[in-house]
């Protein structure tokens, strides 16, 4: 499948054939079932993850191949690429999708016992592990990888990275709590058991100041920002120390690690399990 997808990506045909469509249908099913992923764990990589560029190429082929079509559901009117229908969730994996306007695109993997609160959206290529909760107004963007037993709180954005195809998507590892109104973008990797406090924004441009270990975590040209395992991160500010910014008393936003997860942290966040 990989070689066929890459050939179809590199050599766009004048018209797509029934065979091309059948290939894409098999590809989309493999994505939806979690048999292939846009990124996967790799202990040899600096971030612990590697991107599967051919999978992202396949997703882009689907957009190129698709035709805008009527995809309305009942009284709700929608138009989208016919290659990416809404995913219909059966009872097999005990997934909860609470009524109220949520949507999961075909080509997204949803694990066992996932809870989706309305309205939320999970885009194509995303992977959401077992027991995770995606709360109201939250987004899991295209190709984002979310681990098991995570909580993506209300109005949080897990950004998608579809292009360039070689770029690592956003990674949220197991047992991570993303607080309300957080934003994780540009391939940031949040390691297991980390906690992001309300309103924390993480991307390639903003360094992460670690007050506990007296270090600064930054993205590089080759690697994204990596949040250490068990870090508790809050939204902070850093004073500008020169020029007009200093004269005017301006501070700029920066995320700050204020502690590492401990028993007290676990006690404060365990109540969320009652909702699953």
CATH number of 16's domain: 2.160.10.10
> Model confidence at 196, in pLDDT bands (50, 70, 90)?
very high
pLDDT classification of 268: cutoffs 50, 70, 90: low
In a domain, 76, yes or no: no
Closest Cα partner for 147 from 120, 161, 129, 171? Answer: 129
Which pLDDT value is given to residue 198?
Answer: 97
Look at residue 16 in the predicted model and tell me its pLDDT. 96
Percent of the chain with pLDDT over 90: 88
pLDDT tens digits, 65-94: 999 999 888 888 999 999 999 899 999 999
Q: Total domain count for the chain? A: 1
> What residues form DSSP beta bridges with 49?
41
Q: What is the pLDDT of residue 163?
A: 87
Q: Residue 199: its pLDDT value, please?
A: 98
Res 275: pLDDT: 58
What is the per-residue pLDDT for 48?
97
DSSP string, 145-184: EE-TT-EE-TT-EE----SSTTS---EE-TT-EE-TT-EE
Residue at 166 is within a domain: yes
User: Helix (H, G, I), strand (E, B), or coil: what is residue 135?
Assistant: coil
In a domain, 77, yes or no: no
Q: Read off the pLDDT of residues 125-177 as tens digits, 9 standing for 90 and up.
A: 999 999 999 999 999 999 999 999 999 999 999 998 898 899 999 999 999 99
| pLDDT at 272 > cutoff 60 | no
Answer yes or no: is 263 within a domain: yes
Residue 80 covered by a domain: no
Residue 132 lies in a domain: yes
With b for 16 or more beta-carbon neighbours within 10 A and e for fewer, the 76-104 pattern comes to eeeeebebbeebeeeeeeebebeeeebbb
pLDDT grade for 276, boundaries at 50, 70 and 90: low
Residue 179: which residues within 8 A CB-CB, separation 6 or more?
Answer: 153, 156, 195, 196, 197, 198, 199, 200
Residue 233 lies in a domain: yes
Integer Cα distance of 178 and 210 in angstroms: 18
Q: Are 257 and 208 in contact (CB under 8 A)?
A: yes
Domain annotation covers residue 262: yes
Domain residue limits at 152: 2-67+85-269
Q: What pLDDT does residue 266 have?
A: 72
Is 90 exceeded by the pLDDT of residue 200?
A: yes
pLDDT for the residue 62: 97
Residue 117 CA: distances (Å) to CA of 40, 84, 114, 134, 181: 26, 22, 10, 6, 15
Residues 24-69: tens digit of each pLDDT: 999 999 999 999 999 999 999 999 999 999 999 999 999 999 999 9
pLDDT band at 274 (very low <50, low <70, confident <90, very high): low
């Amino acid at each position: 499948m990989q070689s066929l997808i890459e050939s179809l990506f590199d050599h766009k045909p004048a018209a797509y054939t029934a065979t091309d469509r059948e290939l894409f249908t098999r590809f989309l099913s493999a994505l939806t079932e979690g048999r292939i992923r846009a990124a996967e764990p790799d202990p040899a990589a600096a971030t612990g993850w590697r991107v599967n560029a051919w999978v992202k190429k396949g997703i882009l082929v689907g957009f190129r191949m698709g035709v805008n079509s009527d995809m309305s559901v009942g009284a709700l009117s929608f138009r989208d690429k016919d290659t990416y229908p809404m995913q219909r969730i059966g009872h097999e994996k005990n997934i909860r999708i609470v009524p109220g306007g949520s949507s999961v695109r075909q080509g997204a993997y949803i694990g066992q016992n996932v809870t989706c609160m309305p309205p939320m959206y999970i885009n194509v290529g995303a992977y959401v592990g077992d027991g995770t909760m995606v709360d109201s107004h939250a987004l899991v963007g295209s190709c984002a990888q979310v681990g098991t037993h995570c909580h993506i709180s209300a109005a949080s954005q897990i950004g998608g990275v579809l292009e360039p195809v070689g770029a690592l998507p956003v990674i949220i590892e197991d047992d991570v709590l993303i607080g309300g109104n957080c934003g994780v973008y540009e391939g940031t990797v949040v390691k297991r058991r980390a906690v992001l406090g309300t309103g924390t924004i993480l991307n390639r441009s903003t360094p992460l100041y670690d007050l506990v270990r007296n270090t600064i975590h930054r993205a590089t040209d080759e690697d994204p920002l990596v949040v250490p395992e068990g870090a508790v991160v809050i939204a902070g500010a850093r004073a500008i120390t020169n020029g007009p910014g200093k004269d005017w008393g301006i501070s700029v936003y920066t995320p700050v690690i204020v502690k590492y997860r401990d028993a007290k942290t676990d006690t404060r966040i365990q109540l969320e399990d009652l909702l699953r």
